[in-house]
Amino acid sequence: MRCIGALTRRAKLILVLIVVSVMSTACSINRPPDYDSQAVATICDSEDGETVGVSFLGETKQVTVDWVPTWGELYELCGETAGACVNLATNVIHMVDNRRCLQSASHELGHIFGVAGLDAPRQIALRRQKIYNM
């Protein structure tokens, strides 16, 4: 009995290792540019209305940053729950100029470069919020 128990534990451990390695592979594909990447730095260093070339995963795209002066204006452009947004037809990122630039630039660049599932955690959070508010 002891032997079987140990084998099962080992099998479980191996299974966990396989699942974790598959998940981490998937994550490296589905991740937006890192906060300390050149792509994010280029966006955060750009002037209002400036179009810059941004490279990610071997692709280069022209991206324009619209630094929005107030949250009120951002809400009008992006909707009430967004911290920033991007127009994928023109690759214009609308962002408030504050310390959240790294986070917003990374996320919106993820959209521009077609990283899948970016908003899934937020949508789940919003759904949870809705349930909690009921």
Per-residue binding string, Zn ion, 9-28, x by CB under 5 A, is --------------------
Shortest distance in whole angstroms from residue 12 CB to Zn ion: 36
Shortest distance in whole angstroms from residue 111 CB to Zn ion: 6
Q: Which is nearer to Zn ion, 50 or 119 (CB)?
A: 119
Could you tell me the CA-to-CA distances from 110 to 7, 41, 82, 129 in Å, in that order? Answer: 43, 14, 15, 25
Of residues 102-131, those binding Zn ion (CB under 5 A): 118-119
Which amino acid appears at position 99 of this protein? R
50 binds Zn ion (CB under 5 A): no
Q: Which is nearer to Zn ion, 39 or 118 (CB)?
A: 118
Q: Which is nearer to Zn ion, 96 or 118 (CB)?
A: 118
Which tokens belong to 55? 């490279």
The helix (H) or strand (E) run that includes residue 103 is helix 101-112
| Residue of 95, 110, 112, 12 whose CA lies nearest to 48 | 95
Q: What residues make contact with Zn ion under the rule CB under 5 A?
A: 118-119
